Structure 1
């Protein structure tokens, strides 16, 4: 069963988490695998459309990566042949005052072009299109399940989002006491592990800076060492809208569970 989650946020786009970003999961997909979407309450049509768009984008990304990984060796061999043939052809046909240099540049350019062309062709192949269609069809037929425990996590995100950014940064870096205590672990139950894994995977692909900051905060909290410089840096990033402090706080709380 494929389990997805949607976290609804106040004045922010909903956060859709799914295992579709996992290439291995896409590679080992079963046609009869059921898809379940868990939310804290009933979803509106716009929210359902938002979830569909997010799931389809994740499927496109994973299928492209899967088929490219699958065709990596054949593509590498073809490009090696192209480079070798081009190099010897231009070495024998074209005589120039600087030997090797022109041949290497032209051969490398042709190889890069060949690699790009084959990569795009692979993503448009019948195998990739079929896998993409099957996954999107299942995602569109998903079953919606209300998981009331998710409300506590959404509430935590909203409460952090309403606080003063400087207070949040100081709280995260132990300069000040905890702004809002994360007490959603018990209510999430077994869903916590899945949500944490999917969130980390999503941030690894889409927001490495936030994930790196979260790991740094978890480390300093483990040693109980306040870090005013890190708090100042996070506040600066927040002022420039380069980091989501509420999501950062949530990520730290989940990593510490």
Structure 2
């Protein structure tokens, strides 16, 4: 998003490489060859077991740089996530993926006169009820995630990133290594690196004029708007290294 803003504002800068997790996302959820798709496929065959499912994964992703097979296991697999390597045990994968509520049962329980029971089983949407017979847990999760992403795309979400200071759940204890690991796993350190490599210092036009107007007081006449005053201030002060893009910045900030 940082570099997208530079592009939108037509700011001259060198592209900054950053870690992209898209290949891991494709490995897990891309159709038709992702882990979830292969899991759903295995659940449709009565003779499938977690061992045959694991063998299918090993065969499909044997050359994938994010996928590996632990040496001392016959059915586990490891995915190299952004935050590090995670090993998954495939036992009960198929059983858990099949553990969903049948549409007819859902409708029956949602119509219960007991408010507690009906509250646990809310009526399914019409589209969901049509596909639920063939929709396993993995597919349902992907549908819910897609719906969430569509909702977020139509809004302006603001996130609060929480960091757990210690594993003892006690006050006044700050575990440096644990906090640093959380920041790295959450992408905060990477975002800071990109920001520092770009244009991290930003001020509104008003703040810029208020702070640096002393360098050229003659430009601060009442007839000039803040954008014009900023441009004249930079010219009159003879400053070098700034970009003449103040009139193009729709977000109302000076980047330097």
| Range of TM-score over shorter length | under 0.3
TM-score w.r.t. the length of structure 1 is: 0.24
Larger Rg: 2
User: When the two structures are superposed, what TM-score results if normalisation uses the length of structure 2?
Assistant: 0.24
Larger relative contact order (Cα-Cα within 8 Å, sequence gap ≥ 6)? 1
